[in-house]
Every structure is written in structure tokens, then in C-alpha cells.
Chain A
Amino acid sequence: MGEIFNTLIAYGHSIDDIKWKYTIDQVYFFFEKCKKMELDSLRENAMVTANSMLLSTPVYDKRDVSKRRMAWEKFIQTLTWGSLEKKAHKKTVGDFKNMFSRVGLKVRQKKKDSDS
């Protein structure tokens, strides 16, 4: 209980709100979200550190330099709102069909009984 209250207060919730305004479910819900935010932030920091280290190590091949730059730009792109929206977009049957046809797999439509 102490950890839950402490975490929520650290994130700016008032103790009176936690005690009197939020329902029990809401307290646990917000606590879970705060913890998830912390974990996400740690994960992002680890990724940034790893990518920065990779970018700063010396390379002797021009192709490697451009590969690295592209990887870095791709990584930075994942930190934008647009990519977050793209991730949240639910894939439709059409999207899956396009995905399979891009990799060269044919997607055939199931024959209806009336067709035969």
C-alpha cells in the first residue's frame, strides 16, 4: 500500500485524491500505468544508450557508416508520435494480404459454394 501511494504522489497525485476521490480500481490502475511508464522510460534509455554507443564506435567501411546512420535514423523515427499511431493501427485483412504479397506469397480467396 505504501509503495502504491508513494508512487502516485511522486507522479503528482494528491494524497486526498488517492484517499477520497479515486476508487480502489482507479488507484491500482494509475499505479500500474505509472510503473509501466517507468519501465518504458528505462527501456528507451537502454536503447538510446546502446544505439549511441554503436554510432560512436569507429568504423572503417563507408557502407557500415551509412548502414549505421540509417539504423540510427530508423530508431529515432520510432520515437515519434507518427510511428506510435502506426503501431496502434489495427491491421485489416487487406493489410495482411498486402504484406504477404510483398514477400511473394500468393493469397488466394476462399471459393464460395455458389462459385463451384
Chain B
Amino acid sequence: MPKKKSDEEIIFPEITIDGTTVKPWGFGALFELSDSLEKILDKVEEKNLVEEIESGFLTNITLARLFTIANKEVLRIIAYTVACDQDDVKGWEMDKGVKIATVIYNQNKETIVGALKNALGSPTQEKKTTKKNKKDGEHKP
């Protein structure tokens, strides 16, 4: 279960990395980015990365794989989130890029994982349904 955020964490969510401020998405950003997000999620499913993305902990290896399979979309999301030009993002050092991408994922992971679950159907829900079906079956003569 995700940890409940404190009032301070909600009111002051901005994080600055090497002079670049990262802020969690709003409803408008989600609407703007839904297209890119959908494309990434399709590729994540294709490459069997669903579990890693859903786990809530993004390793550098997973991040690198994400960059490789969906570089255009990831670049667009990063540039939009930090209100920067895509060419500027391309000019960043690797370390800064990885840090910022990780922060973006961490700040919005509930939204990302939620979108993933909506698109694919939550495995936990499936388990619950199966258990429930089994229970129902037990009562039946």
C-alpha cells in the first residue's frame, strides 16, 4: 500500500536537480501526455516490463531499457514535465537525465501504475476474483 503523503509533501512537491525543477503532473499535463504514456505502456507490455514498472521501484537498468524502447515518448514526457525544449534535454549529462527521469517516475508513479493497471487489468484484482470465484464454488452444491 502506498505511503500517505504529508500535507507538506503535497503542498511543496517540487524537487530541483542541477537547476531544473521537477513538479508532479496536473490533470492538464496528464491529458497532454496521455498519448505518449499510452505508447510507452504498450511497449512496456510488449517487452514484459510490466511487473518492474508496477513494483514502484525503477532501477537504472529498467530505466535504460525504457529509454531504448521508447526514447521519443520518454524524451517528450521529460521535456514537457520540466518545461524545457527537447533539444535541451538531449544536451543534458547522462547522470542528470537519469536522476530527473527517476524523479518524474517517483512523483507520478501512482498515475503511471494506475494507467498501467487500467490498461492491462490489475493482476491483484484477477487473483482476488479467482479466489472469490473459488469461494463461491465451494458453497455451491
* Chain A residues with a Cβ under 8 A of chain B: 18-27, 29
Contact = CB atoms under 8 A, between A and B. Distances in A.
Chain B at the A interface: mostly helix, strand, loop or mixed? helix
Contact of B24 (A19, A20, A25): A25
Interface stretch (B26-34, B61-69, B85-93, B95-103): B26-34
Interface residues of B, number: 14
B139 interface: no
Contact of B11 (A19, A20, A24, A26): A26
A29 B24 CA distance: 14
Interface of B: 5, 7, 10-11, 13, 23-30, 111
Given A26-B11, A26-B13, 9 more contacts: A19-B28, A22-B26, A23-B23, A23-B26, A24-B24, A25-B5, A26-B10, A26-B26, A27-B27
30 contacts: A18-B26, A18-B27, A19-B27, A19-B28, A20-B26, A20-B28, A20-B29, A22-B26, A22-B27, A23-B10, A23-B13, A23-B23, A23-B25, A23-B26, A24-B24, A24-B25, A24-B26, A24-B27, A24-B30, A24-B111, A25-B5, A25-B10, A25-B13, A26-B10, A26-B11, A26-B13, A26-B26, A27-B26, A29-B10, A29-B11
